Structure 1
Amino acid sequence: MTRTVTLDPLFTAADAPAFTDRDLAHLAAGTLAAVRVPGFLDPATCREVTAALERLPTAPYDPRRVPTPVLRFGPALNDYRLPGGKLDAERYWPDAEAARRAWNRAGLRPDPVAVSLARLGATWGAAVVPATIDGRAVFGGTLRQIDSGLLMHYDDINREFPDGLFDQDVVAQLAFNLYTAVADGGGATSVWRHRWEPADEEYREAYGYGTGAVAHCQRVDLPPHVGDGLLFNPAHFHAVAANTGGGRRIAFAFFLGLTTTGQLVVWS
């Protein structure tokens, strides 16, 4: 029997001159795949920022956990998750403070994360503030050089830490990427119209999943361009393709959480 695939007309990716509060609401609701703003950061500023990155300490992921090589700066909460969904606070907080000090020493001007958060806050109508744990602000704004791609996976703070982590209650999560350098080819982000379900564990591979988990699922592909700002809902399965040309694929990234009080909070 042949399976007929019916496409969801709402699951599309849109290019826009700027993000709007409606875009953020539709992404949070899952009725839009992604919104990309070309030229969110101008090329000259991207070159300046990329050159300044040499002043930031970067390190690779443990290849036993992330099999494709990725250079990154800044701690991500999920990397400090203990069995049972608890945070390894003894490791996380010193690393977060060290990252803040290194960021300040690097003196990136303009600060691409601050610029992005200010614009998103203006879009939403209220400042974006750091998520907090027991009143303590978490780190937000990692840098990653992904040249060999990432496995298909999803991100969901409420599944990663099911007993709750933040002082704020997050009801929807968005992912933001700002590209300051891209390769000559490849490096696209793909987003599938699929969220995790227990049967997906059959396709588990390292931190992610094999393509069988999204067989017959609708997807959108988003090639990166220098200066692009990209927002999508990371609860949808997503992946990054390997570069196919020369150059580096470098992006600043953070998560935005929509809280029960309508506030936007940020973390990495």
Structure 2
Amino acid sequence: MTTPTISAPPVPVLFDCETADRLTADQLTRLAQGSLGSLRIRNFFSAEQCTEIMRSLQTCPMGSYDEQLVQPRIAKLGPAAYDFYGQGRLREEYWDHAAQSARTRSTLLHGADPLTAALDTIRDAWGEAVLPASSGGKEMFAGMIREINHGARMHFDEVVREFTGILDQQPIAQLAFNCHLSTPAGGGEAVAYRRRWSPHDEDHRQGYGYDPALVAHEPRVSVRAALGDAVLFDPRNYHLVRPVHGGGRRVTLSFFIAVTARGPIFAWS
């Protein structure tokens, strides 16, 4: 007697890019649980808001990540935890830089803070408060403004793995938020891969990033945002930014979101 062959149904990849006109709690939940690869919210900021922020930025000096580690250069306003982490904590100079940067950004949108506008929209979608993440009882900086014109190497961002104990909160998921204040004629796509870091990946490290061959056969999503669009994804997955071409600048308001087991969500950069 021949035993019949039973074929299992295909397992869905669940790593698509979704485009929508407004942000919802369901979308954030699916990003956090890994059943959505990336999310693009059209016109998160209006063209007028983006123009005003970019106009105000003309008089703001921009720093950069440590250029001995991060090449090509990525200009930015505001500190990243990455810049000031040492011996299990944030170095003291982080707090002065955070306060100064927050003051500078706080008037860029018709005398108001574009970060406040972004967090208010996320709060309304989530249905709970969106609060600053904290470290050692002190509120952390959120809301860098970054200019990535020459691309960013493939890397991952995972605060609980890279900076153990730095957050007072206990995130169960980490999301990245980038609202596009200026967009180039071509290029600048954000590409996310359905692949997390593994210890043997350190054999393939290239500076602050990793060899793209690690993800050559992994599912991926690529998003090229229009002016004012917000793009969200899980940065614990490997991701990169393609170089700009054809002229123009790729400038974003950027921060991370910590989703915890209950209640508010928290933001930092």
Quote the residue 1:61 is aligned against.
65
Task: Look up the equivalent residue of 1:75 and give its one-letter code.
Answer: P
Whether 2:106 is the aligned partner of 1:96: answer no
In structure 1, distance between residues paired with 2:18 and 2:140? 31
Quote the residue 2:37 is aligned against.
33
Q: Is the 8 A contact 2:184 2:248 kept in 1?
A: yes
In structure 2, distance between residues paired with 1:24 and 1:61? 28
Quote the residue 2:225 is aligned against.
224
Q: String of CA shifts for 1:120-139, please: whole Å, max 9, x gaps.
A: 01111012000112321111
Secondary structure at the aligned position of 1:24 is classed as helix
In structure 1, distance between residues paired with 2:208 and 2:263? 31
Quote the residue 1:182 is aligned against.
183
Q: Is the 8 A contact 2:128 2:263 kept in 1?
A: no
Quote the residue 2:122 is aligned against.
120
Whether 2:210 is the aligned partner of 1:206: answer no
Q: Is the 8 A contact 1:57 1:102 kept in 2?
A: no
Whether 2:261 is the aligned partner of 1:236: answer no
In structure 1, distance between residues paired with 2:247 and 2:29? 37
Q: String of CA shifts for 1:137-175, please: whole Å, max 9, x gaps.
A: 11100000110000000100101122x122211111000
In structure 2, distance between residues paired with 1:128 and 1:218? 31
Q: Unaligned stretches of 5+ in structure 1?
A: 1-5
In structure 1, distance between residues paired with 2:251 and 2:156? 20
Offset at 1:213?
Answer: 1.2
Match of 2:163 among 161, 167, 171: 161
Q: Is the 8 A contact 2:90 2:166 kept in 1?
A: no
Quote the residue 2:25 is aligned against.
21
Quote the residue 2:7 is aligned against.
none
Q: Is the 8 A contact 2:19 2:41 kept in 1?
A: yes
Rg larger for: 2
Quote the residue 2:154 is aligned against.
152
% same residue? 36
Q: Is the 8 A contact 1:77 1:87 kept in 2?
A: no
Match of 1:10 among 11, 14, 21: 14
Moved over 4 A (4+): none
In structure 2, distance between residues paired with 1:7 and 1:232? 22
Q: Is the 8 A contact 1:60 1:69 kept in 2?
A: yes
Secondary structure at the aligned position of 1:116 is classed as helix
Secondary structure at the aligned position of 2:187 is classed as coil
Q: Unaligned stretches of 5+ in structure 2?
A: 1-9
Q: Is the 8 A contact 1:7 1:218 kept in 2?
A: no
Offset at 1:80?
Answer: 1.3
Greater alpha carbon shift after TM alignment, 178-187 vs 258-267: 258-267
Quote the residue 2:3 is aligned against.
none
Taking structure 2 as the reference length, what is the TM-score of the superposition? 0.92
Q: String of CA shifts for 1:12-67, please: whole Å, max 9, x gaps.
A: 00001111111111111111101101111111221111111123221133321101
In structure 2, relative to structure 1, the CA distance for the partners of 1:262 and 1:213 (3 Å cut) is: farther
Match of 1:137 among 127, 136, 139: 139
Greater alpha carbon shift after TM alignment, 57-66 vs 183-192: 57-66
Offset at 1:7?
Answer: 8.2
In structure 1, distance between residues paired with 2:108 and 2:43? 23
Taking structure 1 as the reference length, what is the TM-score of the superposition? 0.92
Quote the residue 2:262 is aligned against.
261
Task: Look up the equivalent residue of 1:98 and give its one-letter code.
Answer: Q
Q: String of CA shifts for 1:80-108, please: whole Å, max 9, x gaps.
A: 122x5x2232221111122123223x443
In structure 2, distance between residues paired with 1:43 and 1:7? 41
